Chain A
Amino acid sequence: MQECTLAANDLACRRGDRLLFRGLSFALAPGGALQLTGSNGIGKSSLIRILAGLMPAFAGTVQREGATGLLDEKPALDPHQPLGKALGFWQQIDGPEDNQMARLGLANLLDVPVRYLSTGQKKRAALARLLGQRAPIWLLDEPLNGLDTKGVSLVEELAAEHCRGGGICVIASHQPFAIPGLTRLELREFAA
């Protein structure tokens, strides 16, 4: 896996007139894992999008080296396509991937149109897309939403494997998340 680092220096985020957080800093080396916790609306998803470079920070900088994979509530799979073809579209861009479908519990669903999949199955499909991208930095926004207990432990397993392989993992979730070497960062309300 290619070298990767992810660091945030004194980040602040503003949505509309509200300052969500400020003075947020951390640095992750290869193999590092960070869980962002905090109450709803505190800015976890905004922080993930800032880290991904999809949204500008109100203040502060992000240093990111290495390709970034994002898993959020949008699966980015064509709803009218069968799952196999929808994932195949990303394989054509990211390169062919090793077959993880059985492990993700998707092997029997490949000819089912994406719009018929349940929330948890869509999440698993999005995980397949993320794995296929082979990006060293993973940004996971509420990765456990809609997953059953087996799915939850699968995500933890995949994240742990990813970090063992020298990848970086940032997980925004208020649910408990257990992987070795995980540090936690609680986003606190900024009292203006």
Chain B
Amino acid sequence: MSAPLLTLLKRDLRQLLLGGRRGGATLPVLFFVAVAMLYPFAVGPDAPLLARTGGGVLWVAALLAAILPLDRLIEPDLELGLFDQWALRGISEEAIVAVRVLAHWLSFGPPLMLAALPASALVGIDGAKLRVVELGLLVGTPGLAALGVTVAALTAGLRGGAALGGLLVIPLAIPLLVFGAGSLATGGESGLALTGAVSLVLLAIAPFAAGAAIRAGRR
């Protein structure tokens, strides 16, 4: 990775992972754990039911937690004129987006995987299932990150862009959810492999789709 991109990655991580006043990675993690904590209250103390459905609930919580930082991904930098200045320096939008996907993933993927440990205890799923959930999150969250950045770039500058972005992510994330949470039922590698395949497709599309969206937004 060249020096300017490394500088960009450092800045993105400072904004997204640490976040300063805007919370960084803490908000998605707290949201994720809160869902896992509330679910048993809503369903009742039925341990077999919780264990059977808990993994799926963790997946839904992870998906929704990934939506929370959406409005911070592209729009603030567009408004500050940073994308214009990067373009003048010959740094392509595709490269910026690729770096941002990496930073976005680092700021919610691994933290959610850590948070899944206490969350799995709250919904009472066992070690074997936890392993599948963790592996699923490992291969699924990069796709969620790519999708989040793409949708953030598409909706940047629109009125109510943040809300619209959240709504757009949900249908597009269904394949990840189906294969990711589906791998829990079969307990097999095939679901995980398909989740990884969907992630790779999203990762491959994201820089070009989001880069084109940012350029089109300048007109």
Binding site for B on A (CB under 8 A): 49, 52-56, 67-70, 72, 74-80, 89-90, 92-94, 129, 133, 135
Residues of chain B contacted by A55 (CB below 8 angstroms)? 218-219
A-B pairs, top 7 by smallest CB distance, nearest first, are A74-B81, A76-B81, A92-B7, A76-B85, A93-B4, A76-B82, A68-B88
Known: A92-B7, A93-B89, A94-B89. A54 touches B84 (CB 8 A): yes
Alpha-carbon distance between A56 and B218 when the two chains are bound, in angstroms: 9
- The residue from A52, A54, A74 contacting B80, defined by CB atoms under 8 A apart: A74
When C-beta atoms are compared, the residue in chain A nearest to B22 turns out to be A80
B219 lies within 8 A of A56 (CB): yes
- The residue from B3, B81, B87 contacting A75, defined by CB atoms under 8 A apart: B81
A129 to chain B, nearest CB (A): 8
Instruction: Name the interface residues of B1-52: CB closer than 8 Å to any CB of A.
Output: 3-4, 7, 11, 15, 20-21
B189 CB–A CB distance under 8 Å: no
B126 CB–A CB distance under 8 Å: no
B84 lies within 8 A of A70 (CB): yes
Residues of chain B contacted by A89 (CB below 8 angstroms)? 7, 11
Alpha-carbon distance between A55 and B219 when the two chains are bound, in angstroms: 6
Provide the main secondary structure of the chain B interface. helix
Alpha-carbon distance between A129 and B85 when the two chains are bound, in angstroms: 10
Binding site for A on B (CB under 8 A): 3-4, 7, 11, 15, 20-21, 79-82, 84-85, 87-91, 218-219
- Output the residue of A54, A69, A77 with the most chain B CB within 10 A: A54
Residues of chain B contacted by A72 (CB below 8 angstroms)? 81, 84
Residues of chain A contacted by B80 (CB below 8 angstroms)? 74-79
B85 to chain A, nearest CB (A): 5
A52 lies within 8 A of B88 (CB): yes
B88 lies within 8 A of A70 (CB): yes
Residues of chain B contacted by A80 (CB below 8 angstroms)? 20-21
- The residue from B20, B21, B87, B90 contacting A54, defined by CB atoms under 8 A apart: B87
A90 to chain B, nearest CB (A): 8
Alpha-carbon distance between A133 and B90 when the two chains are bound, in angstroms: 12
B22 to chain A, nearest CB (A): 8
B218 lies within 8 A of A54 (CB): yes
When C-beta atoms are compared, the residue in chain B nearest to A126 turns out to be B81
In addition to A55-B218, A67-B90, 6 A-B residue pairs with Cβ atoms within 8 Å of each other are A54-B84, A54-B218, A56-B219, A72-B84, A75-B80, A94-B89
Residues of chain B contacted by A69 (CB below 8 angstroms)? 88
Interchain residue pairs with CB less than 8 A apart (24): A52-B88, A53-B87, A53-B88, A54-B87, A55-B219, A67-B89, A67-B90, A68-B88, A70-B84, A70-B85, A70-B88, A72-B81, A72-B84, A74-B81, A75-B80, A75-B81, A78-B80, A89-B7, A92-B4, A93-B4, A93-B7, A93-B89, A93-B91, A129-B85
